[in-house]
């Protein structure tokens, strides 16, 4: 079966049932084009054990003497009854181990520690071979494979941690992560993770040690803030796939399709290229554009409206986050063009300030200033203090293993990746001329800080008015 036919069947099938018991608008089936996947970007190599080993070495370098770090994996969360949410590893735990399993724990010592006549620099605790779990959920890593993935020389069963006693007299500072707050009552399937957390708390309490969680998170953020070449390769892959998803939608969008059909195209593109969804896709047409985190994605696309697509693929744990705003009918109105161009101008200025040495917040300040001047010039506002009525969010956040990634929000430095996403939102009833009502625009790109000018990693996705309209004007009723 050809891909275009398969996708058409999937898309049209969405119209034949209701979501969560509520009626969903039926699309105009004759207006749904055939689907052609964009060419996949080159596939980078997977992260090697040396990458995770070096991350632990860098952590050890910034740890104070006589300290240790104890990191816990993410838990399994129950969605409903006996159905779990898809597992996603805790970003800090993944960054230092590469292990993508629950019920695991990493211990890193600043200085080698002698335990039961043996010396250890680090220990990875993982789940025993659980045959029942493997029947239902697939194989677990096991000690040998865990060593290969993480580069940790000592891998033990997580049950061994319960009876292991550290030489607490040699430990001054104990750092952990937010999963320390997991409690047995929070989880339907607590397993060994919650047990390890409980035992860790008990051991430190008996030793009279305070567990430093916030301080630990700052340490990990300091390391994760700057991306290595390997990380940038993974991020570029996610960003390119996200750009392809935008291109596919621009080519195939038609009035009277639905937001969820666009979402289907987007997420099909992600998975076809070996990526996952980094966050719930925002496909907000018409007045839904006023909702920053709109994820219902169930409305019909109306001629004359615009649609905001705030989306991101995730590849090998690393996220993209790109937003494009396009006209449903393929052509911007004059008022839409003016607002869109103002947002694009603000983004261009902000990117210029996404440069080594500037404060993290400088791009936002410059975008805010540009939008303020533009809103006054267009007559949408008359007072500087009214900018916040239409530009209601910050412009940047770090990007990496999290969509809103860890970072210290200090002066920008080479190797950091941030987003730059100004927006203007003019709801109906706003105190301005009615011709501006219902215009909602957000443009977001992923930016690498370098020793020179900022590098736009997401150029694959068109953002100029002329580029978007030209792409949407092409004949896209593809039959391959």
Q: Report, as residue numbers or ranges, the catalytic residues.
A: 82, 293, 310, 321, 393, 397, 404, 421, 425, 442, 444
Residue among 406, 396, 374, 403 nearest 387 (CA): 374
HSE-up of 455 (CA within 13 Å, CB side)? 13
Q: How many CB atoms lie within 10 A of CB 167?
A: 10
Taking phi over 0 as left and psi of -120 to 50 as alpha, with beta for the rest, 297 belongs to left
End-to-end CA distance of the chain: 11
Q: What is the dihedral of CA 75, 80, 82, 88, to 10 degrees?
A: -30
Residues paired with residue 185 on neighbouring β-strands, in sequence order:
none
Report the run of H or E that residue 345 belongs to, with start and end: helix 334-352
Closest CA to 100 of 150, 159, 50: 150
Rounded to whole angstroms, the Cα distance separating 477 from 328 reads 16
- CA 249 to CA 109: how far, in whole Å? 50
Dihedral angle of Cα 291, 345, 447, 246, to the nearest 10 degrees: 60
Residue 258 DSSP label: B
Q: Retrieve residue 353's tokens.
A: 């300030």
Whether the Cβ atoms of residue 342 and residue 390 lie closer than 8 Å to each other: no
| Cα–Cα distance, 383 to 228 (Å, whole number) | 45
Count other Cβ atoms within 10 Å, centred on residue 61. Answer: 9
Residue closest to 366 by CA, chosen among 381, 380, 354, 384: 354
* Residue 179 φ then ψ, to 5°: -70, -5
| Contacts with 21 (C-beta within 8 Å, 6 or more apart), sequence order | none
Tokens representing 65?
């003497």
Q: Output Rg (C-alpha) for the chain, integer angstroms.
A: 25
Q: Give Cα separations from 190 to 103, 142, 236 (angstroms).
A: 9, 20, 36
Three-state secondary structure readout of 281-313: CEEEEHHHHHCCCCCCCCCECCCCCEEEEEECE
């Amino acid at each position: 079966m050809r891909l275009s036919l398969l996708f058409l069947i999937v898309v049209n099938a969405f119209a034949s049932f209701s979501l969560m018991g509520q009626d969903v608008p039926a699309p105009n089936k004759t207006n749904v084009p055939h689907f052609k996947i964009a060419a996949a970007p080159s596939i980078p190599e997977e992260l090697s054990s040396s990458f995770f080993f070096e991350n632990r070495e860098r952590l050890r370098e910034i740890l104070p003497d006589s300290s240790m770090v104890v990191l816990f994996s993410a838990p399994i969360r129950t969605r409903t009854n006996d159905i779990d949410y898809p597992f996603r590893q805790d970003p800090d735990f993944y960054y230092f181990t590469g292990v993508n399993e629950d019920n695991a724990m990493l211990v890193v010592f600043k200085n080698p520690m002698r335990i039961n006549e043996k010396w250890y620099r680090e220990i990875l605790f993982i789940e025993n071979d659980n045959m029942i779990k493997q029947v239902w959920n697939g194989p677990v890593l096991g000690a040998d494979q865990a060593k290969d993935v993480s580069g940790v020389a000592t891998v033990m069963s997580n049950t061994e941690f319960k009876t292991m006693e550290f030489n607490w007299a040699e430990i001054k500072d104990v750092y952990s992560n937010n999963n320390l707050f997991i409690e047995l009552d929070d989880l339907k399937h607590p397993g060994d993770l919650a047990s390890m957390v409980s035992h860790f708390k008990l051991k430190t309490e008996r030793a009279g040690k305070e567990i430093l969680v916030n301080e630990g998170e700052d340490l990990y953020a300091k390391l994760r803030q700057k991306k290595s070449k390997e990380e940038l390769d993974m991020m570029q892959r996610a960003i390119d796939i996200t750009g392809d998803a935008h291109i596919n939608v621009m080519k195939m969008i038609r009035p009277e399709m639905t937001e969820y059909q666009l979402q289907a195209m987007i997420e099909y593109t992600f998975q076809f290229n070996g990526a996952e969804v980094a966050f719930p896709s925002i496909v907000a047409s018409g007045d839904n554009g006023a909702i920053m985190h709109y994820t219902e994605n169930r409305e019909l696309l109306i001629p004359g409206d615009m649609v905001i697509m705030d989306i991101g693929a995730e590849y090998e744990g690393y996220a993209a986050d790109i937003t494009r705003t396009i006209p449903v009918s393929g052509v911007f109105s004059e008022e839409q063009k003016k607002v869109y161009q103002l947002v694009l101008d603000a983004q261009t200025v902000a990117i210029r300030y996404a440069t080594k040495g500037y404060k993290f917040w400088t791009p936002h300040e410059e975008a805010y200033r540009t939008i303020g001047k533009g809103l006054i010039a267009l007559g949408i506002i008359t007072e500087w203090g009214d900018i916040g009525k239409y530009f209601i969010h910050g412009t940047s956040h770090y990007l990496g293993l999290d969509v809103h990634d860890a970072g210290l929000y200090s002066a920008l430095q080479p190797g950091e990746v941030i987003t730059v996403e100004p927006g203007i939102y003019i709801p109906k009833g706003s105190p301005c001329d009615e011709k501006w009502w219902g215009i909602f625009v957000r443009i977001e790109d992923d930016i690498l800080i370098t020793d020179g000018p900022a590098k736009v990693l997401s150029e694959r996705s068109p953002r100029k008015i002329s580029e978007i309209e030209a792409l949407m004007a092409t004949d896209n009723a593809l039959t391959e």
